[in-house]
Amino acid sequence: MRSCVSSPSPSELPPPGSLRDAGTPLHLDEQSPLPASWALAGVLAAVHVVSAVGWSVVRPRPLWVALLFDRPRAMRAGVGGQVDRLLEDGEWWRLATSCLLHADIVHLTLNAVSLVALGRLLEPLVGGWRLLAWFVLGGLGGSLTSWAAGFRYSDGASGGAFALLGAIAVIGWMERSHTLKEDRQLFGPVLWVFLAGNVVLSFLLPFIDVAGHLGGLAVGLMLGLWPGRRPGPPAWVDGVLVVAFLAVCAGGWGLLLSS
């Protein structure tokens, strides 16, 4: 049961991204809308559906199979997945497109739910554009780490999700001295235990790309240190990064369609 501690009123809360500078208590805002988090989950779902439809049109594979079940490697490569030999051939845009692709419906659902849950903690603190920018940086960091570690195939938003998890865990730890009592466990031990458990699972489950998870996590831990008590980059920088990422993805898929 949550303890009866008065929460800050909306007028006492700083705008997104300025929490630390304002020095107000770290607080779980359960009422704040999450446009960026839901938009991100929606994009992942849309990419999964569109890629399944596109593949079913050009290959003799039932749509429902492509939507629900494990996608063969040929399909994952054909819709923009990360494949080491194709990256070595110069298709570097796959480092980006693979962040939005998933192997099956379970993979997609787990990542989408995780991103919305992490968004509930992080988006009210840093703002929507920064959340998306951190997802992009974590996803690219995970893709690069996976490639460097020698994984032949790697897809999914897990690198970006691990980046958001690492970032909020660091922020919660750094702000523990002035976190509201009712939220202190969540932003402290609970997050770190959850993070540790996910890292352990990444090593134990053979079908998981542990390098991609650790790469995204490393990026997130560094990003969580960025705000500190210093102003971060302006929101337009985050916006430019997100738009550039989407442009690279669109360009890569365009090349696939034209080939």
* Secondary element (H or E) of residue 217: helix 210-225
Q: Tell me if residue 27 is catalytic.
A: no
Catalytic residue, chosen from 114, 146, 158, 202, is: 158
**DSSP code of residue 186:** I
Query: Checking phi first, is residue 25 left (phi over 0); if not, alpha (psi -120 to 50) or beta?
Result: beta
- Which element (helix H / strand E) includes 153? strand 153-154
Backbone angles phi, psi at 26, to 5 degrees: -70, 130
- As given in the structure block, the two tokens for residue 185 are 């466990």
Catalytic residue, candidates 202, 213, 258, 259: 213
Q: Does residue 143 carry a catalytic annotation?
A: no
Tokens of 93: 């845009």
Three-state DSSP state, 109: helix
- The catalytic residues are 158, 213
